[in-house]
Structure 1
Amino acid sequence: MSPRGVAIPDLRERLFAAAERVVARGGAAALTSRAVTDEAQCAKGVLHAHFAGLDEFVAALVLDRFSRSARGAEALADRVGRGTVADNLVDFAAALLDSLDPAVVGLAMTRPTASLHTRRALEAGEPGYAAMQESVAGYLEAEQGAGRVPGGADPHILALALVGTVHHLLMTRSPDPDFDARATCGRLVTALLGPPGRGPA
């Protein structure tokens, strides 16, 4: 347990990771301020010292994971001409699909105040699905310019279909220990791009 009054390095991430472990073990109902601070081995009042309440904390967790996924989409620009287009897209999509536990997403959707915090932050410019879609489209345009995506393909529609479908899965799927995010994203990318060598229909 961290001593009272001693600064905790990377406190936000420590609390976020603790919350994800709590939810993974016990579901959404297990997520309380006390459960998070106990899991993070922090003093009981630490969460409320940095967040207005559990709803704000849940919103901050979701926004942080959205931001991480948006950075992953931006990083596709560094992979133009490297690997295969399909593998690069699957890497991004699988990371996005694994970025949040379905129970955490459920909390953010069903707790009105958490949902409001999240929506307002996105409207104010916090990176979310729109930013991811833009980055994926930019990546596909660059690969199209390099001749690795057919000229007749529409990068913006492909990006919308990929990010939108993964968004839907992230928001609606039930917790399932046997769910294979990478395999699912592989099938999705193949449906969008076509089998290797054929390109989008």
Structure 2
Amino acid sequence: MSPRGVAVPNARERLFAAAERVVAAGGPGALTSRAITDEAGCAKGLLHAHFAGGLDEFVAELVLDRFARTAALASALPDRAGEETITANLTGVASALLTATGPELSGLALTRPGAAERFRDAMASGAPGFAAVQESVTRYLDAERSLGRVPAGLDTATAALALVGTVHHLLMTTWPGAPDPAEQIDRLVLLLTRG
């Protein structure tokens, strides 16, 4: 364990990764400040030193961080037009979005009033999330359409909305032990890209 007063490198990411392990092992109910810092192997006050708003701020920031990572991944998608298969490219981004925080943490962020408020405020202020991913998917499909790899008549914006909206639905309605939604995503991508 890191002694008190000693700088912890990458403390924010270390705490985020620890929280994901805590939730994976014990479910959302196991997520406490103490469980996170114990799992991270650091002093108990580290979480509160980095997140003055406590566990609510921490949970909101964790979810926002993971969505931002997925949005960054999706932003590279238009540059991949013409590479690999369309199904592989879209399924990769959809899977990343689905696993960005997992249903347990996403649900936790929405059920903790303080976390939900912080999350909504950040989204309203332009934090990257589902809308950024949707925009990137639209631009990607536009690029693939110009290469003739998707039907000329494909409504790319609606296809992107359908994909991202479905992933959002799956994220919010999946629970531990539920069937893996990957097959549903694969079928949806095929349906959407064949016009």
The bucket for the TM-score relative to the shorter chain is over 0.9
What is the letter of the counterpart of residue 174 of structure 2?
R
- Paired letter, 1:45: G
Q: Residue 112 of structure 2 aligns with which residue?
A: 111
Aligned to 2:49: 49
Distance 2:35 2:133 in 1: 32
SS in 1 for 2:76: helix
The offset of 1:179, in angstroms, is 3.6
8 Å CA contact 1:22–1:31 kept in 2: the answer is: yes
Name the CA distance, whole Å, in 2 between partners of 1:111 and 1:149. 42
CA distance in 1, matches of 2:75, 2:179: 26
1:81-124 deviation line (CA, Å, top 9, x unaligned): 10111111011111111111211111111111110000000111
**1:86-105 pair list within 5 angstroms:** 86-105=87-106
Give the whole-Å Cα distance in 2 for the aligned partners of 1:61 and 1:181. Answer: 23
Residues 3-37 of structure 1 deviation map (CA, whole Å, 9 limit, x = unaligned) = 22222221111101100110111111100000000
**1:47-91 superposed Cα distances (whole Å, 9 cap, x missing partner):** 001112100000000000110110111111221110111111011
> Which residue does the alignment assign to 1:167?
168
AA at the equivalent of 1:71 = A
1:184 CA displacement: 2.9
Q: CA RMSD in A?
A: 1.2
Maintained 8 Å contact 2:14/2:40: yes
Structure 1 runs of 4+ with >6 Å offset: none
Structure 2 residue runs of 5 or longer lacking an equivalent are none
In the alignment, the residues of structure 2 paired with residue 147 and residue 101 of structure 1 have an alpha-carbon distance, to the nearest angstrom, of: 35
Aligned length in residues? 194
Could you tell me how far apart the structure 1 residues matched to 2:184 and 2:96 are?
12
What is the CA distance between 1:180 and its match in structure 2? 2.8
Indicate the residue corresponding to 1:74 in structure 2. Answer: 75
Q: Residue in 2 aligned with 1:62? A: 63
CA deviations on 1:146-180 (whole Å, 9 max, x unpaired) are 1111110011000000001101111221122x643
Q: Which residue of 1 aligns with 2:37?
A: 37
Partner of 1:28: 28
CA distance in 1 between counterparts of 2:76 and 2:161 reads 18
CA distance in 1, matches of 2:154, 2:127: 29
Q: Given that residues 91 and 182 in structure 1 are in contact (C-alpha distance below 8 angstroms), is that contact kept between their aligned partners in structure 2?
A: no
State the identity %.
61
1: CA distance between counterparts of 2:181 and 2:17?
20
Q: Note the C-alpha offset of 1:185.
A: 1.7
With structure 2 as the length reference, what TM-score do the two structures score? 0.95
The equivalent of 1:137 in structure 2 is: 138
Residue 150 of structure 2 corresponds to 149
CA distance in 2, matches of 1:152, 1:88: 20
TM-score (norm: length of structure 1) = 0.93
Matching residue of 2:128: 127
